[in-house]
Amino acid sequence: MEAQIQALLAVVEGVGTGGATMGSNMGPHMEVAKPAIFNREAGKVEGFVTMCRLYLRMKMREAMVEEQVFWILSHIQGGSADIWKENVMEELESGEVEYETAEEFLLSLKKEFSKGEEESIKAAELRKLEQGGKTMEEFVQEFKRTVRESGYEGRPLVEEFKKGINRGIRRKLMEVENPPASIEQ
């Protein structure tokens, strides 16, 4: 990532010192960092998509969509990412799927590989959530907002809710003859 930042800084400095506009400094002779190989590692899809967009705009603007898509695919390697890549290549080659733009392909890639990632992030946020100085109503609303797309439901969801509320309230809930079965109660 550091190398990518340095490459971007070099581009910005070159534009500033040369007095050229961004458009006149772009093209196939300009140095642009390529994205790192994407292997479906958690938390990496956003950066990969961003670097692909940057590279495509600066180095492959004139290339056909199919060439851009295959170039992106060439940077996806390893494990289950390879299986996904092979499936996409078969679909492309058979004509089963066609992308109008490289951006459309990048969005489908992002959607495919961020599924579990987004759920993991939401689940981690939920586990960290604490009532603290909030009223119970405020905590319930924040809990509901955080629970969306976390993958939690049923008993595990109730347990995470209990962990987040203040100790005194949690103790009182445990002492109740019929404890609430949902956060609405």
Q: How many residues does the chain have?
A: 185
Residue pair 173/180 in contact by the 8 Å Cβ criterion: yes
pLDDT of res. 10: 60
Residues of the chain with pLDDT under 50: 15-24
Q: What whole-number distance in Å separates Cα of residue 114 and Cα of residue 42? A: 8
pLDDT of res. 120: 73
Residue pair 48/75 in contact by the 8 Å Cβ criterion: yes
pLDDT of res. 184: 65
pLDDT digits 0-9 by tens, 12-27? 555 444 444 444 455 5
pLDDT digits 0-9 by tens, 34-54? 999 999 886 788 899 999 999
| pTM for this model (two decimals) | 0.53
Backbone angles phi, psi at 150, to 5 degrees: -90, -15
